[in-house]
Amino acid sequence: MSLWNFKIWKLSHSPFNSLICKCLALVVAALVLRAVLFPNFSGVDVRGKLVVSDIRARPLEKDSDYGIRQGKYVEVPQIVWGLNNQKIAFARACLTARMLNRTLLMPSLSASLFYKEIDQLQPISFDKLFQFRKFNSLCNGFVRLGQYSELLNQTEVLELQKGSGRKWTLVRDFDQLKEFSRDPYDQYEVIRIVGKNPFLWHDHWPVKDYAKVFECLALVDEFAKEADRVVSKIRAVGGEAIGEKLAPELGQGANGVRSKLQPMPYMAVHMRIEKDWMIHCKKLEQRSNINEICSSKEEIIERVGNIKELSKPTVIYLAVADSLLEDKTILNGWQEGLLPFEKKKLGVSQIYDKYPYLIKSAIDYEVCLRADVFVGNSFSTFSSLIALERTQKMIRMGVSSSCNNSIRWPSYAYNIMGDFGGPRKWLTNMSDTSLQAISYGSNHVTC
């Protein structure tokens, strides 16, 4: 063997060469794995954190630096109006911050309806109602909430004036947001958005983006436990009432029947017949030329009673704003086998009475959300968001449509006539490109 051939043979059989091959193999494997798991990986930022370039579906330039930054913030005005208008406003603020690639500074909500309880209007911090850390954990990588204590220089604030009026179009609003996502505006630590309530901002995001934000909202333990108490009371009192009703037929005691029916299912009806709602809905019908918005007490009772899939006897929780209700006969006129309860008859008035409007509404929302059957008004944001979350729940359970008769957790819109004179089955269109139907109501409920 020549000296040259010997050197080649020695190099090819050396441990060093084997090590190089192994390293190259590991590098190739790592590149393939990264391409599969992180197809949009863009590198590492100055803090050493992974940067993913396409974790959001925002329609900006493809070469934009996507990701939720923690060193840049958006500040929004105090959020007002009803609970679910406030939730929509909050989600819209989150998605605006997301589009600007910024963290949303934790906003203030309003404890009461500002046009009804002016003397009680007071800001309430987001984390007094919803869990701050849990929100960021559930929405990690999608949107982020920050605290004012994170700011390095509170004087470095740029104001973004939201436009209004007919000339301020959807396109102009979107162009403004794109402009403020770039330098020199993007250099500011805080962009403070001033102008109208975020609920009234232009909507640039699909329903599924709003739904993702709503899924991250969890009541603080204090109010979640209050909702637990109300639900437990509904099931217990309903079980006793049904047990007493069935006992003579079955020839046994009420307690024996009740034990067999546990956990007691219940229906929740969001009964919008308060004075302020009737004024609002009648004006809305005139403006929109739609006669499927307002529903009288009698119409609601009749349509609920005509739900063919409903097994009787059934316990019904009536979710109604008691302080605004003029009709005190809402428990009268229900069909045989339908057992209605409101807060006073249920014995839970003391739970609600100690809280301002926002907390009362949040507890009622949870009670309706957990119901086995929900019936509401499709032009109410309260009802609409419950229908949306219940649709999400069914999708997570692998259900493709809630229009089937045998589906669990069905929702209905009593203001729209359905089969057999009952309310229309209600399923939120999760592929909708805007939240218009949820924000302002619609008589299109998919089913």
* DSSP codes joined into one string, 258-301: HHHHPSPP-EEEE----HHHHHHHHHHHHHHT-SSS---HHHHH
- Burial of 35 per CB tally in 10 Å (0-12, 13-18, 19+): exposed
pLDDT in tens, 253-279: 444 444 454 578 999 999 998 888 888
**Exposure string for 3-26, b = 16+ CB within 10 A, e = fewer:** eeeeeeeeeeeeeeeeeeeeeeee
Domain end point (choices 170, 204, 238): 204
Q: What is the per-residue pLDDT across 23-65, written as a single tens digit (0 to 9) for each?
A: 445 544 554 444 433 433 333 332 333 233 222 233 333 333 3
pLDDT tens-digit map of 115-174: 555 555 688 999 999 999 999 999 999 999 999 999 987 678 999 999 888 899 999 999
Same domain, 279 and 170: no
Residue 175 lies in a domain: yes
- The DSSP bridge partners found for residue 331 are none
Is the same domain home to 171 and 238? no
Domain total in the chain: 2
Rounded CA-CA distance 191/216 in Å is 24
CATH of the domain at 156: 3.40.50
Distance of CA 383 to CAs 121, 203, 257, Å?
24, 20, 33
24 lies in some domain: no
* Among 306, 304, 307, residue whose Cα is nearest residue 318: 304
Specify the pLDDT at position 307. Answer: 94
Q: Are residues 187 and 233 in the same domain?
A: no
Query: Which residue from 411, 344, 346, 353 is spatially nearest to 377, judged by alpha carbons?
Result: 411
Mode of pairing for the β-strands spanning 41-44 and 157-161: unpaired
Tell me what percent of the residues of the chain surpass a pLDDT of 90: 54
How many other β-carbons are positioned within 10 Å of the β-carbon of residue 399?
15
Least-confidence region, from 18-22, 232-236, 277-281, 327-331: 18-22
Residue 347 has phi, psi (to 5 degrees) of: 85, 30
Q: What is the pLDDT of residues 408-433, one digit of tens each?
A: 789 999 999 998 999 999 999 999 99
**411 is a domain residue:** yes
Structural domain including 124 reads 50-204
pTM across the whole model: 0.79
CA distance 7 to 1: 10
Confidence at residue 280, expressed as pLDDT on a 0 to 100 scale: 86
76 contacts 107 by C-beta, under 8 angstroms: yes
Domain presence at residue 43: no
The answer to whether residue 73 is domain-embedded is yes
Residue listed under structure tokens 């603080």:
220
- Say yes or no: 249 and 154 in one domain: no
Is residue 305 located within the same domain as residue 431?
Answer: yes
Contact 373, 275 (CB under 8 A): no
- pLDDT single digits (tens) 312-325: 899 999 999 876 67
Q: Please identify, among 204, 233, 261, the residue that sits at the C-terminal boundary of a domain.
A: 204
Cα separation, 235 vs 28, in Å, equals 60
